[in-house]
Structure 1
Amino acid sequence: MAKPRLLNLDAFAKTVEDAKVRTASGGLITVGCILVVLMLIMNEWIDYRTIAIRPELVVDRDRSKKLDINIDVSFPNMPCDLLTLDIMDVSGDLQADLLKSGFQKYRLNPDGEQLDGGEFIINQDIKDLITTNDPNYCGSCYGAISQEGNDQKKLEDKVCCNTCESVKAAYAQVAWAFYDGKDIEQCEKSGYVEQINQRLDEGCRIKGTVEINRLAGNLHFAPGSSLTIPGKHVHDMSLYYKHENRFNFDHEINHFSFGPDPHEGREIEMVKNTKNDVVTSTHPLDGHKVIKNEKNHLFSYYLKVVATRYEFLNGNTLETNQFSSTYHDRPLQGGKDEDHPHTLHARGGIPSLFFYFDISPLKVINREQYLKSLSSFLLGACSAVGGVLTMGYALDRTVWTANKMLKQKKDT
């Protein structure tokens, strides 16, 4: 009877039972091999089920969209009436006096505790205070704006400053010192002068969101009304310097972030990863507090912002922004640094708090992926079995040969 042709292809030739030699050392090595194989396969299984975040760097194609900045900063030694917030970017766009709209201003006592029942005061401190109810009243602008010819004009055509705020704006346009509005009729009658002098020893907490272009620029808190003249952006520092022992820009950053704000309970806070953990981005400036007790001091933060998206295996995505921060402060008079004698500070500037931001043209995409695919797991498991058995076979042959040689020497 002819043998099947497949017999010639059998790579796993068998030995007969009578030709096998079993030893105790071989059994011990076999048990060890089984334990090692089980351990390696378990490790392969753990790797197969492990989820990792794999980053990818791409060009940010959403740079035409606006970007939100979420701000929550406390100033223990600056009253709300004196603070101004402006934003400038490299394109030349200026958003001036932003605290007059869309921001919450909260008064703090000298101990940093909130006043007025613990609720935020929205726009209450900067609204126009009416000087009089006389419909024919036309207030003086005190020379800041020309009112020549008002006597021959109808009321609706006259140039008037009927409120303290309008006089203050007129002074800012010509860069005149306004101080606290004393001796200005509109400010005296509306109670502005009394109000601002009662609050000189208070602090202020600013909270809100502002929208910016995705361009490099700066956001800054400074004292007094702001004015932009050709080639320069200035502030009315008259009231700030009127009181020598009051006011400084010591601050505490309660929260600072770019993009959707998880602190406001928006959708970003509910994004979960594959393990159903709530995912939020980190904010390196949160809780940062600076106390210098220096009136003429400039505080600066340099921020590098990178757009970031997380893609999870469960289908959820999270659009956010990461940023790094570098802090620097210096006295306005410049000169040598007391802590670093070889460092010279620049001279000039105004007492203020600056945030310089630089928006990266790149975007980071973090994708959740398993460390290994099913085929990689199977390949790793087979490799573990084959490798361990091969090493076990070599070890067994070595031990068996050594024992055989020792027995031959004894017999001789």
Structure 2
Amino acid sequence: MGRGPSILRFDAFSKTVDDARIKTTSGGILTLVCILTTLLLLINEYADYSRIVVRPELVVDRDRQKKLEINLDISFQNIPCDLLTLDIMDQSGDLQLDLLSSGFSKIRLDRQQNEIGQEDMNVNHETKLVSEDPQYCGSCYGAVDQGNNDNLPQDQKICCNSCESVRQAYARVAWKFYDGKDIDQCEKEGYVQRVNDRLDEGCRVRGVAEIARIGGNLHFAPGNSMNHRDKHIHDLSLYDKHPEKFNFDHTINHFSFGLDDHSVADYKTTHPLDQTSHKNGKKYQVYSYFLKVVNTRYEFLNGKKVETNQFSATEHDRPFRGGRDDDHPNTIHAQGGLPGVFFHFEISPLKIINREQYNKTWSAFALGACAAIGGVLTVFSLLDRTIWAANRLLKDKKDI
């Protein structure tokens, strides 16, 4: 106990009796360990105090009347832009005609997925096109009754003055349009030649839609869409005409709801479908994504607030013909529907508020620091007393 006098001065455990004034080597060692332990605990306590955490709060969504944005960027490797149609419907079955916020663009892709051209995309919107000749009244080829045109003034006649207007007329009566061959308007506009020249191309669709905050679906399908006998159908005539061409292999480059702010880095909940791909080469395949959307607000320490949406996604695909699954014989798929890619979304009535906060308050940090110091001193004081008593006992036995 007498060796190492340089370490004796570190003994902080004063004795209440005469021997308490004795400084020991073990007491000095314990004091150094006590100081080191206290510093480590204080550093850990400060790190815990300064750590930023996100605390969620679940409330009723009061923004139900606001519009919801859908941001999408999807590439289809084996279907041309002229054949691809995008429809968005709500749960009531209504098509929303005024849903475009910044619009959609169709980007033509070659077989190597290189971009070779870009066009605007109309979504559920009939563009009125007229001939340059004010007296011209094009035939609708029986899709519309034009028998009374001779008795009407020019501005009241029912005319199909463009290939698009003929196509829309065919859609209203659920006639097969194919590629518009032998239709005078389509031949003159070069539509037939353009469609047939692009049969081996792909298409990338990119844009933003704005919809009401109710559930519904967004889907890509071939051919012009129409409502016939209370059913939403598509003209698959051109899609069926080429058995060896076309399929809905696709890559979801980006899909999100609401403000697309990249300061929110939780991509697992705000962008779970990004870079999702399906490439099986099957022509008549239905790809479905079932999305559960929750309105979300992020509140940062610097006062910034970001309104966005989190959503979960469940994927499912099945053959158009239905029947037993080749990989899972016990599973029997439903029959019918449309070949294409469908996004079915449900909007939650609740809202999540994620607030950035420090993990502890200043008072909690001070209380934790005091508890750490007091606890360490108490434990090491008891340990020193125990070692001192043991040494005294051993010494007394030797003296006997």
Report the TM-score, using the length of structure 1 for normalisation. Answer: 0.87
1:122 is aligned, of 102, 120, 123, to: 120
Structure 1 residue 40, shift from structure 2 partner: 0.8
Aligned mates of 1:405, 1:18 — CA distance in 2: 14
Kept after mapping to 1: 8 A contact 2:49/2:359: yes
| 1:298 to 2:299 alignment | no
Is the counterpart of residue 249 in structure 1 residue 248 in structure 2? yes
What aligned pairs does 1:117-196 form with structure 2 within 5 A after superposition? 120-123=118-121, 133-196=132-195
Match of 1:91 in 2: 92
Distance 1:225 1:96 in 2: 15
C-alpha distance after superposition, 1:215-246 (max 9, x if no partner): 11110001111111343111111111011111
Identity of aligned residues (%): 60
The residue aligned with 2:47 is 46
| AA at the equivalent of 1:247 | F
Please give the alpha-carbon distance, in whole angstroms, between the structure 2 residues aligned to 1:40 and 1:342: 59
Q: Give the gaps of 5 or more residues in structure 1.
A: 1-12, 262-267, 270-277
Distance in 1 between residues matched to 2:230 and 2:179, nearest whole Å: 28
Alpha-carbon RMSD across the aligned residues, in angstroms, is 2.4
1:20 lines up with 2:21 in the alignment: yes
Distance 1:104 1:384 in 2: 62
Stretch moving more, 127-136 or 74-83? 127-136
In 2, Cα distance between equivalents of 1:252 and 1:111: 14
Residue 208 of structure 1: aligned partner: 207
Of 328, 332, 343 in structure 2, the residue corresponding to residue 344 of structure 1 is: 332
The verdict on how the C-alpha distance between 1:130 and 1:89 changes in structure 2, with shifts beyond 3 A counting, is closer
Q: Among 304, 313, 316, which residue is 2:301 paired with?
A: 313
1:108 is aligned to 2:109: yes
Distance 2:331 2:48 in 1: 52
AA partner of residue 205 (structure 2): I
* Aligned CA distance change for structure 1 residues 14 and 30 (closer, same or farther; 3 Å): closer
- Alpha-carbon distance in structure 1 between the residues aligned to 2:97 and 2:134: 31
Bigger drift between 148-157 and 71-80 goes to 148-157
SS in 2 for 1:95: coil
1:294-343 residue CA offsets vs partner (Å, 9 max, x unmatched) = 11110111111111111111111111111121111110111121222221
The C-alpha deviation readout for 1:256-281, integer Å capped at 9, x for no partner, is: 111123xxxxxx35xxxxxxxx4445
Q: Does the 8 A contact of 1:144 with 1:171 survive in 2?
A: yes
Contact 2:15 2:22 survives alignment (8 Å): no
Kindly indicate whether the alpha-carbon contact (under 8 Å) linking 2:248 and 2:340 is maintained by their aligned counterparts in 1.
yes
Please say if 1:224 is aligned against 2:227: no
Number of residue pairs matched? 381
Q: Answer whether contact 2:174 2:228 (CA < 8 A) is retained.
A: no
Query: Which residue number in structure 2 is paired with residue 70 of structure 1?
Result: 71
Q: Is the 8 A contact 1:228 1:234 kept in 2?
A: yes
Change (3 A) 1:396 1:164: same
Q: Distance in 2 between matches of 1:18 and 1:128?
A: 102
Aligned to 1:373: 361
Matched, 1:397 2:385: yes
Q: Return closer, same or farther for 1:401/1:242 CA change in 2, 3 Å cut-off.
A: same
CA–CA distance in structure 2, aligned partners of residues 203 and 18 of structure 1: 92
Whole-angstrom distance in 2 between the partners of 1:19 and 1:140? 115
State whether residues 140 and 160 of structure 1, in contact with CA within 8 Å, keep that contact through their aligned partners in structure 2. Answer: yes
1:133 positional shift: 3.9
C-alpha distance in structure 1 between counterparts of 2:63 and 2:129, whole Å: 45
TM-score with structure 2 setting the length: 0.89
Q: Secondary structure at the match of 1:305?
A: strand
**Aligned-partner Cα distance in 2 for 1:14–1:411:** 23
SS of the residue aligned with 1:115?
strand
Deviations 1:52-97 (A, max 9, x none): 1111111111111110001111111111111111111113321369
The equivalent of 2:10 in structure 1 is none
Query: Partners in 1 of 2:21 and 2:128 — Cα distance?
Result: 107
- Which whole-Å CA distance do the structure 2 matches of 1:208 and 1:291 have between them? 23
The 2-side partners of 1:19 and 1:45 are apart by 35
Q: List per-residue Cα deviations over 1:324-373 (Å, max 9, x = no partner).
A: 21111110111121222221111111111101111111111111111111
